[in-house]
Amino acid sequence: MSKFNLRGIRRTGASAVVTADRPSGTTHEGAPGYARDAKGELFLLAVTSFVAEDTFYESAADRDARLRALVARVAVEDGDWVLRLVRWLRTGVHLRSVALVVAAEAVRARLAAGVAGGNRAIVDAALDRADEPGELLAYWTGRYGRAVPKPVKRGVADAAVRLYTERSLVKYDGRGRGFRFADVLELTHPSPRDARQGVLFRHAIDRRHDRADAIPDELGVLRARQRLLAVPVEQRRAVLLDGERALTSAAMTWEQVAGWLQGPLDAAVWEAVIPSMGYMALLRNLRNFDEAGVSDEVAARVAARLADADEVARSRQLPLRFLSAYRTAPSLRWGWALEQALQASLGSVPALPGRTLVLVDRSGSMFSRLSRRSVLTRADAAAVFGVALAVRAARADLVEFGTDHRVVEVGRGESVLTVAGRFGNLGGTNTAAAVRRHYRGHDRVVLVTDEQAWGGWRGEEPTKAVPERVPVYTFNLAGHRYGHGPSGVGNRHTFGGLTDQGFAAIPLLEQGRDERWPF
């Protein structure tokens, strides 16, 4: 039998996530399981993790312990790779907590192994919002005690210089935080970038210790805020309705306005506040706007901002935020804007040529919430990504699967948000049966899943029904240890996450290019 002179074998490029070509364990449901190498497992776990959150198959404690062990191993072997991973997690896919944990655990492991150099940069790369220097110190001291190593202090100090401003002091220096700005400054001793920041640092420390008698002249935002807070309660509504300039100059957020007014946020108040609100604040308050009776004219301006692709990019919202807003908002006046925003946030999902089979996992394990505070699930993420692929593909068959499986119809030009609402809960994870039933000579197969396939008939591997010459792309949404099939072997590839970025790998691989890491 010929091994090399075969027709029709179309090789794609090499994958970043690599497994052996044979099973080495089992999935949580008993199917043959393929362990990834340490970097691949860490990547998939990190990009699907919210930290300290249970999943259907793993407790938060077990999942976080696995993350720490993987970080400790990889960080000692390849610190530069971990640095790039941390930076990408925080600023590429906008995952805060996991970036912080990976950075802290990486530096701890490297210091324990005597690896110097680069540790300060790893810490700094994880911090991109002004509350995060304190958050990292709280994590470190809560887990490892009050002795904070110099590289951690210096990385936190670098971030404080980048991130601490008057506006961030107003927003994030709350009394309820374990590490306030002053605590960070006194522990890490950053050198201010200029004289004005030096004044801000001294004022933050003075007010932390209740000795700030007057706000220095250099701190104009804080002085404007002081004047606003001094307005008598009975006059505050008139000041607000006179225009949002007073709020903007004083860095007053919409949350703070409610307490400052000491009264309800009715339509007039919302309409005065809306021009100064950020993108995420608008997205979170669509229901409040409707319930207060905000006018259609103002709502149209909000909708225009929500739909603006540049605003979407700057907001750095996960695609699922738009699905959440769509489900929460009671009126129809936001629907089209949210669809446009979602489409903009899915810009990395490619328009695939030829015929594509897209299989979306709707088994019970996919319906655990992403976090305690979220109403969304991995099943929601799978539906959004699966529909986006199907809508953009030249020709696609979209299938949901669990114990059973069924075709999900997609009309030409249909809304992703609308089609995503048609999916159901299908019980178990009989991936192999769905692939076997619906693969009909497609040019590629895409599975959006947690990979915890049912063992099935003779422990059947899900991708075996697809010929070797046809690429199979598994998009992993959970990061469990064992996957349902090989990756980096022939035409089998795995990537993952809760954003669209992984899907950009498909056309690159099909051009024969090696798709290493997205960072």
Q: What is the CATH number of the domain that holds 441?
A: 3.40.50.410
Task: Tell whether 203 is covered by a domain.
Answer: yes
The SS3 assignment for 173 reads coil
Q: Are residues 149 and 30 in the same domain?
A: no
| Residue among 120, 202, 217, 214 at smallest CA distance from 169 | 202
Q: Are 359 and 401 in contact (CB under 8 A)?
A: yes
From CA 154, how far away is CA 511, in angstroms rounded? 43
Q: Are residues 29 and 123 in the same domain?
A: no
Q: What is the CA radius of gyration of the chain?
A: 25
CA 247 to chain centre: 30
Average pLDDT across each block of 10 residues of the chain; the chain has 519 residues. List them in order. 40 85 93 95 96 94 97 98 98 95 98 97 98 98 97 98 97 92 98 98 96 92 94 93 85 91 93 94 96 97 98 93 93 95 94 97 95 91 97 96 96 92 95 96 98 80 92 97 94 93 90 84
- State the helix-helix crossing angle for 132-144 and 96-112, rounded to 10 degrees: 50
Asked which of 220, 241, 264 is the last residue of a domain, the reply is: 220
For the entire predicted model, the pTM comes to 0.93
E strands in 313-374: 355-361
Q: Are residues 401 and 478 in the same domain?
A: yes
From CA 155, how far away is CA 298, in angstroms rounded? 43
Q: Are residues 488 and 391 in the same domain?
A: yes
Task: Tell whether 144 is covered by a domain.
Answer: yes
- Count up the domains in the chain and report the number: 2
The strand pairing partners of 19, in sequence order, are 36
Task: Tell whether 315 is covered by a domain.
Answer: no
Q: Are residues 353 and 213 in the same domain?
A: no
Q: Are 389 and 477 in contact (CB under 8 A)?
A: no
Q: Are residues 369 and 471 in the same domain?
A: yes
Q: Are 48 and 449 in contact (CB under 8 A)?
A: no
| Residue among 92, 173, 176, 150 at smallest CA distance from 126 | 92
Tokens of 301: 């301006």
Buried/exposed 448-485: b ≥16 CB within 10 Å, e otherwise = bbbbbbbbbeebbbbbebbebebbbbbbbbbbbbbbbb
What's residue 246's pLDDT? 83
The pLDDT tens digits of the residues spanning 424-450 come to 999 999 999 999 999 999 999 999 999
Q: Are residues 29 and 145 in the same domain?
A: no
Task: Tell whether 147 is covered by a domain.
Answer: yes
Task: Tell whether 463 is covered by a domain.
Answer: yes
What's residue 11's pLDDT? 61
The strand pairing partners of 398, in sequence order, are 358
What's residue 300's pLDDT? 97
Q: Are residues 472 and 397 in the same domain?
A: yes
Task: Tell whether 268 is covered by a domain.
Answer: no
The strand pairing partners of 381, in sequence order, are none
Identify the burial level of 516 via C-beta atoms within 10 angstroms of its C-beta, where 0-12 means exposed, 13-18 middle and 19 or more buried.
exposed
Task: Tell me the C-alpha to C-alpha distance, in Å, between residue 511 and each of 215, 291, 414, 474, 515.
Answer: 61, 51, 29, 18, 10
Q: Are residues 354 and 437 in the same domain?
A: yes
Q: Are residues 377 and 490 in the same domain?
A: yes
The pLDDT tens digits of the residues spanning 247-294 come to 889 999 999 998 999 988 999 999 999 999 999 999 999 999 999 999
Task: Tell whether 300 is covered by a domain.
Answer: no
Buried/exposed 301-325: b ≥16 CB within 10 Å, e otherwise = ebbebbbbeebbeebbbbbbbbbbb
CA 480 to chain centre: 17
Task: Tell whether 400 is covered by a domain.
Answer: yes
What's residue 1's pLDDT? 37
Q: Are residues 108 and 29 in the same domain?
A: no
Asked which of 220, 254, 277 is the last residue of a domain, the reply is: 220
> How many other C-beta atoms can be found within 10 angstroms of the C-beta atom of residue 91?
15
From CA 136, how far away is CA 127, in angstroms rounded? 8
Asked which of 220, 255, 283 is the last residue of a domain, the reply is: 220
Domain that holds residue 441: 25-34+349-510
Q: Are residues 365 and 465 in the same domain?
A: yes
